[in-house]
Amino acid sequence: MIHIEEQTYEIIDKSQLIEKVTQKKKDGCRLVQISCTPLENNLEITYTFDKDYKCSHLRLSILQEDACLPSISGVYLAAFAYENELHDLFGIKVTDLAIDFKGNFYKLSVKAPFSPKTQNKVEQ
Amino acid sequence: MAKRTVVPFGPQHPVLPEPIHLDLVLEDERVVEVIPSIGFIHRGLEKLCEIREYPEMVYIAERICGICSFIHGQTYCQAVEGVMKIDVPERALFLRTIWAEMSRIHSHLLWLGLFADGFGFESLFMHSWRVREKLLDIVEETTGGRVIFGTAKVGGVRKDIDNLTLNRIKGELKNIEKQCRELTSVFEKDDSVKRRTKGVGILKKEDAVALGAVGPTLRASDVEWDARKLGYAAYSKVDWQIVVEKDGDCYSRCIVRCKELYQSFNIIYQCIEKIPDGPIDVKVTGSPNGEYFARTEQPRGEVIHYVKANGTKNLARFRVRTPTFANIAPLVKMLEGCELADVPVIVLSIDPCISCTER
Amino acid sequence: MSIMKITKVVLRSVLSRPATRLYPFVKRPFFKNTRGHISIDIEKCIFCGICQKKCPSDAILVTKASKEWQIDRLKCISCSACVEACPKKCLSMENEYSSAVIKKDDVDKFKQKEKPTEEINQQ
């Protein structure tokens, strides 16, 4: 018996982000997580929301050279932890953060280790 | 205006099981502001998916954390099985449920001991861990390891428990449950425990939902939400209720975990009665292609494993969002306005598992 | 006002025998299933190298030319992936933990014995 959750993905643009997130807050969803996947030419950011055990995702794509995002911590304060992590691990600039650690949330020796720009391949 | 001092709490502190750093801004003895900082044990485990193939990533997923190790492995397997649409046999689902609930009991007993140590009740700490040793003996007998179970596999489980052993384990678990009842009655009724924990670190219902709290921290603030109700593994086939408390302080979080202990024992007994016969795994060949978010309930809350595959044996992205990461924002809110001596009790009451948080 | 709720548990543990063992005089018996350390029956090994490929921490090294099989005990995580993968079933998981070592680069080497030349001539 396969148990697979039904999850909806919605692809949006960077300019629609705050409007869509405010709509989710009005519907009563809670923020679950924000994650980033580095693909070959761009970075794919996924925002996950949950209401009544149903998961829905908002997905947007940004270029590696122009990596900056508006913050949603004005709507969901809990997002500050995820957005600081995006900045520390991937080098994405997030503007208007409610609590901004300026790169000191994670104590790392290499700046932005997960970003494809740093030549940081894992060695065998 | 009162004078403000900044006191650093952690990363090394006698009460903390794992390193987290908090800068506490104090006015006389009250905490006014908290600035958290993590990253002391960041190992970059997610980046290892570039060289390790997807069946081998189970070993890495299990070793993210020592206390919640089996459920990490199980969630990773569920994520890959969701991408590849694999049909796991029924017996494997029931076995996974039994081991996951044993993992939950051992984690809650460990936490009860640490919590008692946090406000100085050392003998209760020792007794909780003595009862936990008996449970770890059962785990070692069935899986081979005390801390890292090593039985989760993509497509099923690696070891079987035969029905004779299951019945014997049921008798041993009933014995352990009796000893747990003596311990939890101390946590619920003893006056010294109540004085340190009642009314301390209150998290209201609206704050808990708005700040994204998960797990017992959320359920102690009167919100009924448990990821096990999604019905994965064998949870849709056994009868159980969500444990909820109303007050939102440290005492409520302690009571929620005590009651979840008995709920876990109950789930294991039901699984032992209902487990069907059959194979324990299916052969998995080929490479995954696609993406999936798998959600399960760890002892500390809801954990999410995100897997993105592109048709090769190595995954493109493996991301873990652990419950303690989601509980950092409510922690900052809870600590505002409390006294300096209450800080260790509040930090321990969210059950911080920092090695999970930083992977 | 209820204090001393823990009296019953404390009295029982005072009056009964201790919960700890007097190690090293009393050793703990291991269970049958405990994952301790890997051992090999070197005479059955065909040096195919599958165990080296499956090992997640690269602890095994197989050299077919000199018929040697070696394992680095400190890298081995006792996951028994090699035991399940071996086609000749010559690897097994013993239930005692491997003992402590004093140097970090010690490996355990096993070498297959040379077959006597008269046997090969007769075949």
The confidence score (pLDDT) of residue B330 equals 87
Interchain contact, C6 vs B143, CB within 8 Å: no
pLDDT (tens digit per residue) in C46-77: 888 888 888 888 888 888 888 888 888 888 88
Q: Could you list the residue range(s) of the whole structural domain that residue C53 is in?
A: 30-116
Q: In what order do the strands lie in the sheet with A7-11?
A: A7-11, A54-63, A42-51, A30-38
DSSP summary character for residue B238: S
Q: Tell me if A53 and B230 make a contact (CB, 8 A cut-off).
A: yes
Domain residue spans of chain B: 41-358
Residues of chain B contacting A21 with CB distance shorter than 8 Å? none
Cβ contact, residue pair B124, C56, below 8 Å: no
So what's the pLDDT on residue B311?
83
**Structural domain contains residue C121:** no
Render pLDDT for A88-103 as a digit per residue (tens, 0 to 9).
Answer: 888 788 887 777 777 7
Helix-helix angle B163-189:B250-274, to 10 degrees: 160
Domain membership of residue C3 (yes or no) is: no
Chain B residues whose beta carbon lies within 8 Å of the beta carbon of residue A38: 317
Chain C contact partners (≥3 CB pairs within 8 A): B
Question: Would you say B99 and B160 are in contact if contact means Cβ atoms under 8 Å apart?
Answer: no
Q: B328 to chain A: which residues are within 8 Å by CB?
A: 81
Give the CATH number for residue C109: 3.30.70.3270
- Give chain C's domain count: 1
Per-residue pLDDT in tens (0 to 9) along chain A, 124 residues: 566 777 788 888 878 888 888 888 888 888 888 888 887 778 888 888 888 888 888 888 888 777 778 888 778 888 888 888 888 888 788 887 777 777 777 777 777 777 766 655 555 5
The predicted pLDDT at position C44 comes to 84
Handedness of CA B165, B171, B176, B180 (dihedral sign): positive
- The verdict on residue C52 lying in a domain is yes
Binary contact (B186, C84; C-beta < 8 A): no
The angle, 0 to 180 degrees and rounded to 10, between the axes of the packed helices B163-189 and B90-118 is 30
C91 domain residue, yes or no: yes
Cα–Cα dist B154/B57, whole Å: 10
**Average pLDDT of every residue of chain B:** 86
Please report which confidence band the pLDDT of residue B158 belongs to, taking 50, 70 and 90 as the band edges: confident
Determine the Cα–Cα distance for residues A5 and B83; give it in Å rounded to an integer: 11
**Topology (CATH) of B41-358:** Cytochrome-c3 Hydrogenase; chain B (1.10.645)
Closest chain B C-alpha to A87 CA, distance in angstroms: 14
pLDDT in tens, C27-54: 888 888 888 888 888 888 888 888 888 8
- CA contacts within 13 A on the Cβ side of A1: 12
Residue C103 domain-assigned (yes or no):
yes
ipTM: 0.85
Tokens representing residue B57 in the block: 């990533």
Q: Which residue of A has its CA nearest to B322?
A: A33
Which pLDDT does position A123 carry in this prediction? 56
